Amino acid sequence: MARQLILTGHVQGVFCRNYCSQYARMLGIKGSASNLGDGSVRVIIDTDDESLLRQYTSALLQNPSNIRFYGKITDISVKPYSGTVGGDYNF
């Protein structure tokens, strides 16, 4: 089952979608990221592995690999997602 993550904070115009894709690739996760009209970023990831989901969200919040990212994610909400895994930035 896919998951929808909504990232809030300073997340648009700061390489957030690329940042999300780099951590997903490191963990072997397929997905997409899209800017939303309210200033947040929606990430759809194709996994039902809870451990992998926790690793991914932790990496996004902490940036342990020091990936270039000029913003700050302050919160990530996670929900099940049943639609197509796609967006304006696919990985």
The CATH fold assigned to 2-83 is Alpha-Beta Plaits (3.30.70)
Q: How far apart, in whole angstroms, are the C-alpha atoms of residue 38 and residue 50? A: 28
Domain locations in the chain as residue ranges: 2-83
Query: N- to C-terminal Cα distance for the chain?
Result: 17
pLDDT tens series, the chain, 91 aa: 899 999 999 999 999 999 999 999 999 999 999 999 999 999 999 998 999 999 999 999 999 999 999 999 999 999 999 988 888 899 9
What type of residue sits at position 59?
A: A
- pLDDT value of position 1: 85
- pLDDT value of position 9: 98
From the list 78, 86, 77, the residue with the least C-alpha distance to 30 is 86
- Write out the catalytic residue numbers: 17, 35
- pLDDT value of position 18: 97
